[in-house]
Amino acid sequence: MRRLEGKRIALTGPRKAAELSIMVEKLGGIPVVRPAQGSVEMQREKVEEEIRKLVREGTDWIVLTTSQGTEMLLEVAESIGLREEFLETLRQTPLAVRGYKTVKYLKTLDIEPEVKADDGTTVGILRALQERSLDLQGRKVALQLYGDHAPRLVEWLASQGALHYGILPYRHVPPDLTVVDTLLGEILGGAIDAVTFTSTPQVRFLMAYAREQGLAEKVLEAFRERVVGVAVGKVTAEALRDEGIVRVVAPEEERMGSMIVSLAKYYEDSEKTG
């Protein structure tokens, strides 16, 4: 059954766009490739400075949000001759961890986090922290953020009086703005039925750019009324909801192919319910 028959599906992720396009076509849809990822660059000198400071002064809590960011920290620590000192800091400091991949990576280092999200999301890590009834007033909290500034987590830490700071400074290099302008025009003009997102930077940048252009409310209205937001997994879905996109389709299994299948099922179920 060609469950995406006639639907125009925007693909914002740069990876596997060709494969996803074929999958959309097989299901009867029309793929529209609109790369909105950009790139994320680590500010290496600042990271080196933060690692030296962390090893030298310590902190009360460390929050790790991604395995990629955690690996980067260890790689930089090793490059400046502080691998063992950095690992010892991780072992001696209470850790709060968001993602499954991060927990798995830490296990390879024989490190067990004190707090971890039960579902791999920011909401999950917040829930786990709140259940501990921690007193974070005046406590130093080192945050590893990479590609996603996790506003809900940062706002909660601030509300608790924590002295939070980033230990993996990065710079977001925007994608081709002509492509993003085209995508926004298609969303607002009804030329797109669904937009797929495979990472949080795609979500954050699209909505940040829409706000800069004074189009955010119109974009959110389009997503409420006719455009379906599609996420590859829970964390990306959470970023969409953070930005105000409420109707989100996401697969249980975090796979790009599963994302397209979930969208097809969404349309099929919508037709059945009328």
Question: Residues 114, 66: one domain?
Answer: yes
Question: Residues 245, 209: one domain?
Answer: yes
| 43 CB-contact burial (10 Å; exposed 0-12 / middle 13-18 / buried 19+) | middle
Domain end call among 146, 171, 196: 171
Domain end call among 171, 190, 218: 171
Question: Residues 27, 51: one domain?
Answer: no
Q: Which of 38-47, 176-185, 246-255 has the lowest mean pLDDT?
A: 38-47
Q: Is residue 1 part of a domain?
A: no
pLDDT band at 272 (very low <50, low <70, confident <90, very high): confident
Structure tokens at 155: 């706002």
Segment 10-36 shows an average pLDDT of 91
For 120-151, what is each residue's pLDDT tens digit?
A: 888 899 999 999 999 999 999 999 987 677 88
Q: Is residue 2 part of a domain?
A: no
pLDDT band at 231 (very low <50, low <70, confident <90, very high): very high
Question: Residues 156, 137: one domain?
Answer: yes
Q: What's this model's pTM, rounded to 2 decimal places?
A: 0.78
User: 33: domain range?
Assistant: 8-38+175-273
pLDDT at 147: 67
Question: Residues 179, 162: one domain?
Answer: no
What end-to-end distance do the CA atoms of the chain give, in Å?
18
CA gap 165, 145 in Å, rounded: 10
Question: Residues 166, 50: one domain?
Answer: yes
Segment 203-209 shows an average pLDDT of 92
Q: Which of 68-72, 107-111, 214-218, 229-233 has the lowest mean pLDDT?
A: 68-72
pLDDT above 80 for 273: no
The domain tally of the chain equals 2
Q: Is residue 3 part of a domain?
A: no
Segment 48-75 shows an average pLDDT of 94
pLDDT band at 21 (very low <50, low <70, confident <90, very high): very high
CA gap 142, 63 in Å, rounded: 6
Give the number of other CB atoms < 10 A from CB of residue 9: 26
Q: Which residue has the higher pLDDT, 205 or 227?
A: 227
CA gap 80, 91 in Å, rounded: 19
For 91-129, what is each residue's pLDDT tens digit?
A: 999 999 988 889 999 999 999 999 999 888 888 999 999
pLDDT at 87: 97
Question: Residues 50, 142: one domain?
Answer: yes
Name the nearest CA neighbour of 93 among 49, 142, 126. 142
CA gap 158, 24 in Å, rounded: 43
pLDDT at 122: 87
pLDDT at 1: 54
Segment 197-207 shows an average pLDDT of 91
CA gap 169, 176 in Å, rounded: 23
CATH assignment at residue 194:
3.40.50.10090
pLDDT above 70 for 159: yes
pLDDT band at 253 (very low <50, low <70, confident <90, very high): confident
Domain end call among 129, 153, 171: 171
